[in-house]
Amino acid sequence: IQLTQSPSSLSASVGDRVNITCRASQGVGRFLAWYQQKPGQAPKLLIYLASTLQTGVPSRFSGSGSGTDFTLTVSSLQPEDFATYYCQQINTFPITFGQGTRLEIK
Amino acid sequence: EVQLVESGGGLVQPGGSLRLSCAASGFTFSDHFMDWVRQAPGKGLEWVARIRNKANRYSTEYAASVRDRFVVSRDDLQNSVYLQMNSLKTEDTAVYFCSRDGTKYQFDYWGQGTLVTVSS
């Protein structure tokens, strides 16, 4: 299953609301997760089962969607949110990741 | 506190072998599926392999790119998961992360990664 994220890169300002979309080449139900990765660090789980917020993740992060179309929303960007974001499907093997969305400061 | 610590990375020639280890602590290791994910320099994340728990007969899954060359295993007494990598290719150069599979279809904890460089 191919996951296509859009945009591939995004410039935004602190306080902005941003949406990152992830489209699957076939349905994955709600078995989709979102991760944040900063340079030199391991990925960090943000959202699983499409919309469940991982413990300890700020509530400004939210996820939605099912089937083939998913969205990660950050309601009000904070300085620490500038990073690369990946979606991942765990519905079907092989497990696959999107190509990533780089979120940069405008 | 959940911790995953990878080791065993390094420089290896094409065609060579390497064994990565991931030591787990802070949780009941034997209950969880474990995965390996890699990231080539400047690239995105690529899932590599999974090993399930005893209840699921330690069954395994592999990415097509590594099947027949890599073997994932675990030792529940040592709280460790391993990745034996054989017939290494230059395109296997990457940081290799181990991760814990949570109980709800998510990779909820990750190690810091270990760098494998395949070069002559």
Mean pLDDT of chain B: 97
Q: What pLDDT, on a 0 to 100 scale, did the predictor assign at position B64?
A: 98
Whether residue B105 is predicted with pLDDT greater than 90 in this model: the reply is no
Pairwise CB contact (< 8 Å): B106 & A48: yes
Q: Does A66 touch chain B (CB under 8 A)?
A: no
Whether residue B34 is predicted with pLDDT greater than 90 in this model: the reply is yes
Q: What pLDDT, on a 0 to 100 scale, did the predictor assign at position B94?
A: 98
Q: What pLDDT, on a 0 to 100 scale, did the predictor assign at position B30?
A: 97
| A47-102 residue pLDDT tens | 999 999 999 999 999 999 999 999 999 999 999 999 999 999 999 999 999 999 99
Residue of B44, B97, B110 lying closest to A100 (CB–CB): B44
Nearest Cα residue to A98 out of A55, A42, A36, A29: A36
Query: Tokens at residue B116, please?
Result: 């494998």
User: Rounded to 10 degrees, what is the CA torsion of A49, A52, A55, A61?
Assistant: 120
Q: How far is A69 from chain B (nearest CA, A)?
A: 18
Q: Which residue of B has its CA nearest to A54?
A: B108
Query: Tokens at residue B41, please?
Result: 């320099």
Q: Does B27 touch chain A (CB under 8 A)?
A: no
Whether residue B104 is predicted with pLDDT greater than 80 in this model: the reply is no
